[in-house]
Amino acid sequence: MKSSQYTTSEQAEHLLSEISRWPGRLRELHERLRPRFARPEAFQHALLYLQAILSEIPRKNGWQIAEHARLARPYGMQRLLSRAVWDEAGVRDELRACVCQTLSPPVSAVDEPPFPILVIDESGFPKRGRHSAGVGQQYCGATGQVENCQVGVFLYDKWNRKMMIHLSV
């Protein structure tokens, strides 16, 4: 018989199982976006960019994102965001469809509420420099005053009490 310190709760096992599926789900989403990119290089850089943004790297600037993607220089990532040809509106619409599909519970779910209750929260957090996207003198919710900060928008699922999406503005 195993000692209790070596057992994993059923809820934790479910969570770990769900987390292990995230890389595959990201690749599935990325594949759905293929028709929105004019060139395969930009399409590939989009996946590398998303993987870096979702990673634990402390600073998400061009050089760190390129290093995380194992690229020698950040120019490919910068080109993706500034000059590459891709259908931004189409990517947005596809992402919206994916989010709506994910948040809509299956009809057969007995214990689930009939629809998700989502809370959108905009919050500012202080920043020292000016090099991150969207940093400037603005109201900062964390400190309650106008100062140098970046604003993020968070989408929470009220039933499951978890953050669904975080977007920096």
How much is the pLDDT for 169? Answer: 47
pTM (2 d.p.): 0.61
Cα four-point dihedral sign 155, 99, 11, 54? negative
- Angle value at C-alpha 65, between 62 and 69, nearest 5 degrees: 135
Phi, psi values for residue 157, rounded to 5°:
-95, 110
Cα four-point dihedral sign 19, 133, 131, 126? negative
And the tokens for 53? Answer: 């943004």
Least confident span in 44-48, 87-91, 141-145? 141-145
Comparing 158 with 95, the larger pLDDT belongs to 95
For residue 86, pLDDT beyond 80: yes
pLDDT confidence bin for 116, thresholds 50/70/90: low
